[in-house]
Amino acid sequence: MKKQFDKKRRNPQGLKVGDNMWLENKNIQSNQPLKKLDNKRYGSFRISKDIGLGAFQLELSEGWTIHNVFNEDLLTWCVEPNFK
């Protein structure tokens, strides 16, 4: 059984507390009339706590009224541009 389980188990992204992440727009309601006009990602948010396998608590801004625990599939690395 372990062999079958490990076939579908993917490697985690290597996220840790303190990392800055983008939050994907999936399953988040907004005031935009069309989905294609809305932002694809929100953020950047800092990971404040590692909840379990693949679940992380984020430090959301004051105005956000949603639950602050998200699956790692909804998080992408925040890479700041290097403009001079």
What residue type is 5 in one-letter code? F
- pLDDT of amino acid 1: 84
The mean pLDDT of 61-83, rounded to a whole number, is 89
Q: How many other C-beta atoms are found inside a 10 Å radius of the C-beta of residue 75?
A: 22
| Residues paired with residue 68 on neighbouring β-strands, in sequence order | none
C-alpha neighbours within 13 Å on the C-beta side of residue 80: 7
Verdict on whether the full-model pTM lies above 0.85: no
Q: Is the pLDDT of residue 80 over 90?
A: no
Token reading at 39: 């932002």
| CA separation for the pair 75, 41 (Å, rounded) | 9
Q: Taking every pair of C-alpha atoms in the chain, what is the biggest distance, in angstroms?
A: 54
- pLDDT of amino acid 10: 65
Give residue-wise pLDDT tens across range 6-63: 777 665 678 889 999 999 999 888 888 988 899 999 988 999 999 887 899 999 999 8
